Amino acid sequence: MINDTLIIIRFREHLALEVEIVLVLFINMSCSYADGLSPYDDKGVLGIDEVFDSSDSVREKAQKLAEWIKAAEHVVFHTGAGISTSAGIPDFRGPNGVWTLEEKGEKPHFNVSFDDAVPSFAHMAIVELVKQGFVQYVVSQNIDGLHLRSGLDRSFLAELHGNMFIEQCTACKRQFVLKSATTSVGQKFLNRQCSHVKQNSQTCRGKTKDTILDWEHDLPEKDLLMADYHSNAADLSVTLGTTLQIIPSGNLPLLAKKRENGRLVICNLQPTKHNKKADMVIHGFVDEVMRHLLEFLDLKVPDYNPSSDPTKTPETVEWTLKATDVAAAKKMYKEKCPPVKRKKKSVVSSVNSKVTKKEKVPPSDHQTSIVKTENDISENTVPVEALKQE
Ligand SMILES: [Zn+2]
């Protein structure tokens, strides 16, 4: 099925700059959720030329990545739209990305609906890497549900911007897998009853909403916590298919650089805003990089299996992030990241700066409710001319 309905999701920061970004999604014709949402100009840096390492270079870098993964204690993968392009879902800022083409007055090309898309080679490779203990956690900005559909266990995945295949109950807060992509975005009611059955055999009387972020919505708290704990604990961050322009997601991979001997690897065709900070940048297709990586790790990638896809199975599947997983991640974080002793502040500075107030989570003091683009992608990575927005 061809999708051709534009869905525009906007996030706003209410601080000084009133920065807004817009996420544009494509869903089936049957959905009509552009109502009341208007286009917005600031979509970050768009359409920068892609860079391609030679095939030999990609292979050599993948070999080095395999060595680094084997040497690392805690590896976190950060995934963006570029991991799903080979599944037929367009990215946002690539040369043929949704926003890049929109800026030119053109429609993006896509050839599959969310329902019909199939997890890419890279999605399935990640399942195997996690299963074999080479990757400890995955943080995704993607809302396409392909990590879910690949069979990746919820315990290993933070979805920071929501998931088109997940509904959440407003009463018990439990999440459940939908059998087809949601017909709404922006955390609206789906006209569905919660599937949770209580211990007394009574069904929860709550109603469910979609989980896709909209205006002024906070990032999902438990997902953000998990992402933060694991990103802080990581001594190797690997980004796949993201220009790292949206925050806080785009800054989480940098936390590995705070660890002793921590490394950051960026895999993206376009230059990203953090290339200068990376220990290695791989300009190659994510699937190609992962294919080499799995070979060097002597792993075989499983085929996509619909019976492991909770959207395709007859029973209702819960997708709630377990409190025990969050507690375990917090414990792991505290063990790996003991608090740093700081000099006592003077009374005056403490009072004036109001920093004595005990911080709420998350631990690394990230923004929790703000998602925005930053247009400095590139001050060090690409020619200034390439950055000028038309
Ligand atoms: Zn409920």
- Span from the CA of 204 to the centroid of ligand 1 (angstroms): 5
pLDDT of 20 reads 40
Per the domain annotation, does 14 fall within a domain? no
Q: Tell me: the pLDDT tens digits for 195-244?
A: 999 999 999 999 999 999 875 678 999 999 999 999 999 999 999 999 99
Structural domain tally of the chain? Answer: 1
* 239-277 pLDDT per residue, tens: 999 999 888 899 999 999 999 999 999 999 999 989 999
Q: For the segment 104-156, what is each residue's pLDDT rounded down to a tens digit?
A: 777 766 668 889 999 999 999 999 999 999 999 999 999 999 999 999 999 99
Residue 27 belongs to a domain: no
Q: What is the pLDDT of residues 305-352, one digit of tens each?
A: 999 999 999 999 999 999 999 999 999 999 999 887 655 554 444 333
Kindly give the distance from the C-alpha atom of residue 356 to the centroid of ligand 1, in angstroms, as a whole number.
Answer: 38
Cα–Cα distance between 388 and 390 in angstroms, integer? 6
Residue 70 belongs to domain with CATH number: 3.40.50.1220
Residue ranges with CB less than 5 Å from ion ligand 1: 169, 171-172, 194, 196, 204, 206
Q: Which residue in the list 74, 78, 161, 274 is annotated as catalytic?
A: 161
- Is 8 inside a domain boundary? no
CB 382 within 8 A of CB 271: yes
SS3 (DSSP) at 26: strand
The rounded Å distance from CA 250 to ligand 1 centre is: 32
Domain membership of residue 137 (yes or no) is: yes
Handedness of CA 349, 352, 355, 358 (dihedral sign): positive
Q: Is residue 160 part of a domain?
A: yes
Q: Where are the alpha helices (DSSP H) in the chain?
A: 55-71, 98-103, 121-131, 146-150, 221-233, 286-296, 323-336, 347-353, 384-387
Using one digit for the tens of pLDDT, what is the confidence trace for 155-194? 999 999 999 999 999 999 999 999 999 988 889 999 999 9
pLDDT at res. 90: 77
Q: Is 169 annotated as a binding residue?
A: yes
Report the pLDDT value the prediction gives residue 113, as an integer from 0 to 100: 86
C-alpha span between 357 and 74 (Å, rounded): 31
Any known ligand binding at 31?
no
Distance 190 CA to ligand 1 centre (A): 13
172 is in an annotated binding site: yes
Residue with the larger pLDDT of the pair 19 and 101 = 101
Those residues whose C-beta lies under 8 Å from the C-beta of residue 355, and which sit 6 or more positions away, are 345
Question: Domain range for residue 179?
Answer: 46-387
Residue 41 belongs to some domain of the structure: no
Residue (of 215, 208, 133) closest to 178 by Cα position:
208
d(CA 201, CA 141): 36
The per-residue pLDDT of the chain, averaged, comes to 80
- Give the three-state DSSP class for 280: strand
To the query of whether residue 123 is one of the catalytic residues in this protein, the response is no
Q: 5 lies in a domain?
A: no
pLDDT in tens, 29-50: 323 323 323 345 566 777 788 8
Nearest in space to 83 (alpha carbons), one of 316, 243, 218: 243
Which of 30, 41, 32 minimizes the C-alpha distance to 7? 32
Q: Residue 108 domain-assigned?
A: yes
SS (H, E, C) 125-165: HHHHHHHCCCCCEEEECCCCCHHHHHCCCHHHEEECCCCCC
Q: Which of 168, 204, 164, 170 is nearest to 184 (CA)?
A: 164
Q: How far does residue 166's CA lie from ligand 1's centre (Å)?
A: 13
Beta pairing, strands 372-373 & 246-247: antiparallel
Binding site annotation covers 267? Answer: no
